[in-house]
């Protein structure tokens, strides 16, 4: 028998269908709620709201489970490449060798950006945050490929845009780094794979020999795979929301990059390192910062801790912590920030405040240690997250577009402002209550 939920409002009882996912997660379908009752639901931050059905990624936050198209993320991190993971997320299945070769070849074909686009980089101040530059550049791709801005692209057009975005984004990121340090742009090389190509564009220079380090390549491979998708997070929901108005894929992804930029989302990896540096500067007084994070009146939070969904552990953080130790050992690097991070985790995980609230290290807690060891500068950390998240955004945009149930995203609200009142001419206004008056 189909399960139903009953909602009683006053003397009215409404039967609501219950939807069950393939992993047995349940939802009460309230699609008809407003038309039947004139009530809406109120759920700030959408913590209890499913915005769509999706077959891309499964997360069970209570059990610390993360699957891409059914495959545990640890298996992908162990065995796969970022390009293969992108194929899986976007196309739904692991590719055959032939499919993978074709997919990889098209990355090479689309790696370069239009020569004119280089002018944009010269126009940005070198102090500009690379996330702002990345978002602007991705949106600007729409101007260079207007034939690919069809709001409902064919499968062939979509495949082309997807590969262009995946491939060009790493070139754009490397160029914005080169610009920030005043170095010459290094073009992508057709003989190099995805990650070595990125590292080469970042760190090689006409005046300097650069050797690609396989341990760095491997650490980055794992990081990018672990960041590749995470179902309806803030930036992915943004991509879907913007795309629901039939904005093209370039514009939707550019919006996702902006959403990722914030310190509570993809900007957290940068904030973690800044926090660890601050603790180090302050004599490694870890307990002081743990105490500060617990204070009700302080706005300080332990960055890299806590997650809306994971209430047990974040499976990605466990893998990244191990990889950070491996890479640093192999490179013979002694990073005091890693020691602080490990101790901070130990202290926080024994502290009742963090235990009761189920706050664990998340994906951002150890990733910055790896980026630092590779030589990637601090303000590029969120950009690395963006490169990794690209396949997830693209897969979700396409799923949203192909789903007949998709409607333009348009939440409701409960209005709490003044009731109807009349306009008062300025000479009759007795006082102003504007709270920001003095700041004009």
What's the closest the beta carbon of residue 17 comes to ligand COA, in angstroms?
28
103: left (phi over 0), alpha (psi -120 to 50) or beta: alpha
251's CB contacts (< 8 A; 6+ apart) are 139, 142, 242
Under rule CB under 6 A, which residues in 353-382 are in contact with ligand COA? 357, 359, 362-364
3-state secondary structure (DSSP) of residue 14? strand
Q: Measured between alpha carbons, how far is 139 from 251 in angstroms, rounded to an integer?
A: 5
Nearer to ligand COA, 238 or 362 (CB): 362
Which stretch, 77-85, 204-212, 298-306, 318-326, contacts ligand COA (CB under 6 A)?
A: 298-306
| Binding status of residue 311 toward ligand COA by CB under 6 A | no
| Binding status of residue 276 toward ligand COA by CB under 6 A | no
| Binding status of residue 303 toward ligand COA by CB under 6 A | yes
Instruction: Read off the DSSP letter of residue 254.
Output: H
Under rule CB under 6 A, which residues in 44-103 are in contact with ligand COA? 45
What's the closest the beta carbon of residue 311 comes to ligand COA, in angstroms?
9
Nearer to ligand COA, 6 or 296 (CB): 296
Nearer to ligand COA, 301 or 330 (CB): 301
Cβ pair 72, 66 in contact under 8 A: yes
Q: Measured between alpha carbons, how far is 194 from 111 in angstroms, rounded to an integer?
A: 10
How many C-beta neighbours within 10 Å does residue 126 have?
10
Nearer to ligand COA, 45 or 283 (CB): 45
- Residue for token digits 């003989």? 191
**Cα–Cα separations (whole angstroms), residue 223 to 77, 235, 367:** 8, 18, 7
With CB under 6 A as the rule, give the number of residues binding ligand COA.
Answer: 17
Q: Measured between alpha carbons, how far is 391 from 167 in angstroms, rounded to an integer?
A: 11
What's the closest the beta carbon of residue 274 comes to ligand COA, in angstroms?
12
- Residue for token digits 């000479």? 427
Q: Exactly one of 304, 315, 368, 388 binds ligand COA (CB under 6 A); which one?
A: 304
What's the closest the beta carbon of residue 306 comes to ligand COA, in angstroms?
2
What's the closest the beta carbon of residue 355 comes to ligand COA, in angstroms?
11
413's CB contacts (< 8 A; 6+ apart) are none
Q: Exactly one of 188, 306, 368, 382 binds ligand COA (CB under 6 A); which one?
A: 306
Binding pattern for the stretch 236-265 against ligand COA, x by CB under 6 A and - elsewhere? ----------------------------x-
What's the closest the beta carbon of residue 329 comes to ligand COA, in angstroms?
26
Which stretch, 48-56, 132-140, 279-287, 302-310, contacts ligand COA (CB under 6 A)?
A: 302-310
Q: Measured between alpha carbons, how far is 32 from 40 in angstroms, rounded to an integer?
A: 10
Instruction: Give the residue numbers annotated as catalytic, written as ranges.
Output: 307, 364
Nearer to ligand COA, 196 or 262 (CB): 262
- Return the structure tokens found at 51: 């915005």
Is the C-alpha dihedral spanning 219, 224, 230, 236 positive or negative? positive
Burial class of 323 by CB neighbour count within 10 A (0 to 12, 13 to 18, 19+): buried
What's the closest the beta carbon of residue 424 comes to ligand COA, in angstroms?
40
Binding site for ligand COA (CB under 6 A): 45, 264, 268, 293, 301-308, 357, 359, 362-364
């Amino acid at each position: 028998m189909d399960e139903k939920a009953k909602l009683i409002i006053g003397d009215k009882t409404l039967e609501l269908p219950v939807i069950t996912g393939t992993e047995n997660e349940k939802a009460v379908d309230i699609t008809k709620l407003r038309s039947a009752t004139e009530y809406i639901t109120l759920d700030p931050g959408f913590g209890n709201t499913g915005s769509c059905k999706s077959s891309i990624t499964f997360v069970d936050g209570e059990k610390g489970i993360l699957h891409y198209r059914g495959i545990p993320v640890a298996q992908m991190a162990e065995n796969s490449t970022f390009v293969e993971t992108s194929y899986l997320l976007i196309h739904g299945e692991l590719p055959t060798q032939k499919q993978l070769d074709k997919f990889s070849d098209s990355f090479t074909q689309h790696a370069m950006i239009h020569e004119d686009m280089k002018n944009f980089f010269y126009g940005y101040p070198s102090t500009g945050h690379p996330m702002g530059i990345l978002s602007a550049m991705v949106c600007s791709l729409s101007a260079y490929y207007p034939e690919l801005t069809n709001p409902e692209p064919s499968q062939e057009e979509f495949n082309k845009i997807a590969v262009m975005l995946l491939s060009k984004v790493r070139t754009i990121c490397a160029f914005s780094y080169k610009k920030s340090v005043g170095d010459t742009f290094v073009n992508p090389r057709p003989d190099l794979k995805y990650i070595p190509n990125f590292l080469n564009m970042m760190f090689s220079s006409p005046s300097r020999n650069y050797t690609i380090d396989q341990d760095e390549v491997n650490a980055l491979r794992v990081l990018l795979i672990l960041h590749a998708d995470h179902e309806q997070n803030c930036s992915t929901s943004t991509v879907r929301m913007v795309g629901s108005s039939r904005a093209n894929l370039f514009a939707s992804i550019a919006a996702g990059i902006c959403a990722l930029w914030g310190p509570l989302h993809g900007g957290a990896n940068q904030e973690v390192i800044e926090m660890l540096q601050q603790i180090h500067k302050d004599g490694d007084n870890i307990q002081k910062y743990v105490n500060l994070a617990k204070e009700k009146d302080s706005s300080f939070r332990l960055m890299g801790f806590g997650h809306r969904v994971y209430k047990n552990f974040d499976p990605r953080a466990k893998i990244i912590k191990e990889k950070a130790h491996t890479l640093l050992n192999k490179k013979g690097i002694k990073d005091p920030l890693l020691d602080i991070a490990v101790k901070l985790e130990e202290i926080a995980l024994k502290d009742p405040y963090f235990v009761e609230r189920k706050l664990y290290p998340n994906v951002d807690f150890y990733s910055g240690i790896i980026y630092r060891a590779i030589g990637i500068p601090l303000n590029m950390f969120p950009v690395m997250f963006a490169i990794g998240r690209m396949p997830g955004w693209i897969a979700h945009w396409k799923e949203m577009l192909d789903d007949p149930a998709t409607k333009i995203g348009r939440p409701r609200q409960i209005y709490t402002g003044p009731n109807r009142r009349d306009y008062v001419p300025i000479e009759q206004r007795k006082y102003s209550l504007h709270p920001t008056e003095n700041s004009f």
